[in-house]
Structure 1
């Protein structure tokens, strides 16, 4: 990790309201001579727009005082959207009980209910359908390193 990115993460961490809030990702993209600094934060019990605004203001002020960002930049502080892949244990824990779609490193795709998060991976209840038989649910343990991308499935029930 670059020193600049690490310094920015430390600044963000310092300005989060409490230990229930956490950093999901810090990224920098250069486009047309301008850098976009994108900071994704989340919270164990949900995130509101006011928290994003407060963190943005505090981080922006500190970046200016420390003169960390060279040249012009755009600062974006937001929560990961519904279609943003889960990243890290805390995001998985926050979504226990929800339906997930997991793309494995093998290319296989699984859809099931997240039932537990462990140190090395997750447990899910996956529907198993055999021809001519009623669908059953099977508990599957998936190590984090075998999961390429995990998206929460939106339910309108």
Structure 2
């Protein structure tokens, strides 16, 4: 028995993997299936509300493995499962990525080639408040071409964090959209 092509197979496996990952309180970020010799490589990237550690990756690996074994007819043969977390350089592409990056420094590139750094404040479904050079700016996600978290070796200043917190209350830029 042969299995469907790669893209179709990933589409068939996605609800199975999504359910297994969701049942343990994690988010499925990526599911990729490709041929690796005689086996298929099933790569699953998961994340949690507050990030994810090795223990959560191990739990996710067991949950996904059990779900795939229960649906082995879809894979139709041997496979290797790789479960991992997103890297530090993962682009911020969804509202939940921005919420998880709260208080972190990000590099944002806009379609007009403007690049700037800002610290992430309140994020909702359509945009985010960033602290840029001491001022709060609301940026809509549609105005972001690419954004990534910058690795920092020092904590943000108390002044910066206080400004971000001001941006989440009523009557501020966030509350007066």
Question: TM-score by structure 2 length?
Answer: 0.69
Match among 89, 99, 107 for residue 93 of structure 1:
99
**Does the residue aligned with 1:37 lie in a helix, a strand or coil?**
strand
The structural deviation recorded for 1:18 is: 5.4
Gaps (5+ residues) in structure 1? 128-136
Rounded to whole Å, the distance in 1 between the matches of 2:80 and 2:112 is 37
Q: By percentage of residues, which structure has more strand?
A: 1
Structure with the higher fraction of residues in helix conformation = 2
After the TM superposition, which segments of 4 or more aligned residues of structure 1 sit over 6 Å from their partners? Answer: none
Unaligned runs of 5+ in 2: 1-6, 155-177
Map 1:36-115; keep pairs closer than 5 Å: 36-67=41-72, 68-115=74-121
Rate the CA distance shift 1:148–1:80 in 2: closer, same or farther, 3 A.
same
Quote the RMSD (CA, aligned, Å): 2.5
User: Which has the greater radius of gyration?
Assistant: 2
1:29 CA displacement: 4.1
Counterparts in 2 of 1:66 and 1:21: CA distance versus 1, 3 Å: closer
- 61 and 145 in structure 1: CA distance in 2 versus 1, 3 angstrom threshold: same
TM-score (norm 1): 0.77
Cα distance change on mapping 1:34 and 1:111 into 2, 3 Å: farther
